[in-house]
Amino acid sequence: MIRYTVGDCVLGQVLIAATDRGVCALSFGSDADGMDAWLPEEFPGAELVRDDAALAEWLDRVRAILDGSDAEIPLDSQGTAFQHRVWAALRTIPRGETRTYRDVAAALGVPGSVRAVARACATNPVSLIVPCHRVVGSDGSLRGYRWGVERKRDLLAWEAGKNPARLPAKC
């Protein structure tokens, strides 16, 4: 069974889906309507149950991460061994900083795997908890983000404290 909730955050709406072991998906959106529509495709055959009360604490922890806390959230994300290595490396990037895909590949000891690192970032199911938005192109340019490059730019500015009076426009 996968439980999920949708709630407000500084980025708009956030959906958190979790098994008994931890968060398996985290997604952002502009409004709550239809945010859960992709869950059956993402988790075919799973029993999906909306359970706001059971996930309230994890929702609070996600909000705390957005506010700069190092709140711990257990994860149950599915991926290959390499993807999990990349995701672990992403979690070491400090708030307000970025690394290039090349930097991440080199840190993993596989400098020729830049494209594989980029793919692992693109398939990260628990964005924000695993901060794939902190990875940029070798020239410092913002490359793809599931919710758009503009949102990635706003989120990076928010984390760096460069624009604390204006929250990201949308998710």
Side-chain-side CA neighbours of 157 within 13 Å: the count stands at 16
**Can you tell me the distance from the alpha carbon of 69 to that of 24, in angstroms, rounded to the nearest whole number?**
20
Of 24, 121, 132, 171, which is the active-site residue?
132
With contact defined as beta carbons under 8 Å apart, do 3 and 51 qualify?
yes
Q: What are phi and psi of 131, to 5 degrees?
A: -75, 70
132 included as an active-site residue:
yes
Q: Which is nearest to 95 in space by CA: 64, 69, 63? A: 69
Residues labelled as active-site residues: 132
